[in-house]
Amino acid sequence: MKTAYYAIGLRCNLRCIFCPCSEEQPDYKYFTLEELKDTIEETLKVKDIDNFLLSGGEPTIQKSFIPIVEYICQEKKRPLSLLTNAIVFSKNKFLERFLSAVGNSKFEMVTAVHNHIPEKHDYLTQTKGSFEKTLTGLKNCVSSGINTSVKYNIVNYNYKDLPEFIDFVYETFPDEVGLILCNIDISGFARKNKDVIPVSFEKSNPYIEKALDKVIKYMNNGWKRNVRIFTTPLCTLDPYYWYFINKSTKDDVAAYRSPDVIEENSKLMFDFPSGTGTPFDECKDCKVIDICPGSWESYAEYYGTGFLRPVN
């Protein structure tokens, strides 16, 4: 699966305290519609792209958003993925315009909900009322039949709440809504907010396991929700839970473009490295290296590699 990943603009309607883009937001860098169309054409000349992924900042609040969705879905007839906080979809008129732009194309979106307690979500987004708006937007999208997943970014501030968050998801969203548990890149703002953001696998994984015990109970009660854990090495979790770990694809992003204050950095790049995986010396002789998603290189920079327990 070859993905073209474009961050179409850095402006955002949230100020998440672990977002690597937050530092660059004052510059509000973005691509114009023409720049994005040219980027797509250039990408397709070089790579056989299976799907396009739009990100930001918050992609939905960029001027070019609706037209570029229309271009990808209706003119290029490619599947589209969207990383969004879903706030704009709390407005039905915007959702209607968006659905019209997507047309009959395959589409899916992923939205982060940082906690089931509104105040805690709002603290991490630094935006009062964002929990309610995101939840309304998500529910609107689900009601419209959009293929949707909820993502929980595991940080020091919220990892203990994960088991309760599981109940919230099962009580709030229908079975077809996926759930992603994701460890984050410890860079930029995440490093600056040391007390709130970085959390070690040693601390968070017992709570992940408790959360997965709940998921298993729901499975036994007939629920079929797709629950997956990202950027968590197999060796850090009890093998009983390996079913939930998303396997490594070993693929880099086929094409990548993001605005940047430095012109050189905002050029279209191919086979862009992901910054995750199993590049660590300790992993070389591990028997499950072929399927292990590994972790962020930034995690190892921050915590060292002592957390790795190669399977031999």
Partner 1 sequence: MKKVEVFSKKLNKSFTVSLADSCKEGKGGTTYTDLYTGKADVKDQSLKLINDWDSWVNQGWSNWGAICV
Q: Which of residues 121-180 bind partner 1 (CB under 8 A)?
A: 125, 147, 149, 151, 153, 178, 180
The three-state (H, E, C) secondary structure of 129-158, written as one string: CHHHHHHHHHHHHHHCCCEEEEEEEECCCC
21 touches partner 1 (CB under 8 A):
yes
CB closer to partner 1, 167 vs 238? 238
Q: Under DSSP, is residue 119 helix (H, G, I), strand (E, B) or coil?
A: helix
Report yes or no: 36 and 84 within 8 Å, Cβ to Cβ: no
Separation of alpha carbons 72 and 8, rounded Å: 13
In sequence order, which ranges of the chain are alpha helices (DSSP H)?
33-46, 65-70, 92-102, 118-125, 130-143, 162-172, 189-192, 201-220, 297-303
CB closer to partner 1, 137 vs 178? 178
Beta-bridged to residue 5, according to DSSP, are 53, 256
**Out of 219, 266, 302, 303, which residue is the one contacting partner 1 (CB under 8 A)?**
219
Q: Which of 294, 290, 291 is nearest to 307 (CA)?
A: 294
253 touches partner 1 (CB under 8 A):
yes
CB closer to partner 1, 119 vs 220? 220
Stretch that binds partner 1, among 24-32, 138-146, 159-167, 223-231 (CB under 8 A): 223-231
**Out of 94, 168, 242, 270, which residue is the one contacting partner 1 (CB under 8 A)?**
242
Contact string (CB under 8 A) for partner 1, positions 22-51, x = contact:
----------------------------xx
- Find the binding residues for partner 1 in span 83-102 (CB under 8 A): 83-85
Q: How many residues does the chain have?
A: 312
- # chain residues binding partner 1, by CB under 8 A: 75
CB closer to partner 1, 92 vs 192? 192
CB closer to partner 1, 81 vs 156? 81
Q: Under DSSP, is residue 3 helix (H, G, I), strand (E, B) or coil?
A: strand
In the complex, minimum distance from the CB of residue 291 to partner 1, in angstroms, rounded to a whole number: 6
Structure tokens at 89: 């979809």
222 touches partner 1 (CB under 8 A):
no
CB closer to partner 1, 55 vs 92? 55
Q: Under DSSP, is residue 206 helix (H, G, I), strand (E, B) or coil?
A: helix
Contact string (CB under 8 A) for partner 1, positions 185-214, x = contact:
x-x--x------------------x-----
Structure tokens at 280: 């660590």
HSE-up (13 A, CA, CB side) for residue 154: 27
CB closer to partner 1, 16 vs 268? 16
| DSSP string computed for 233-276 | -GGGS-GGGGGGBPPP--PPEEEEE---SSGGGGS-EEEE--SE
55 touches partner 1 (CB under 8 A):
yes
CB closer to partner 1, 168 vs 189? 189
7 touches partner 1 (CB under 8 A):
yes
278 touches partner 1 (CB under 8 A):
no
287 touches partner 1 (CB under 8 A):
yes
Residues 162, 164, 167, 169: what is their CA dihedral angle, to the nearest 10 degrees?
-50
**Out of 62, 81, 90, 204, which residue is the one contacting partner 1 (CB under 8 A)?**
81
Q: Under DSSP, is residue 180 helix (H, G, I), strand (E, B) or coil?
A: strand
216 touches partner 1 (CB under 8 A):
yes
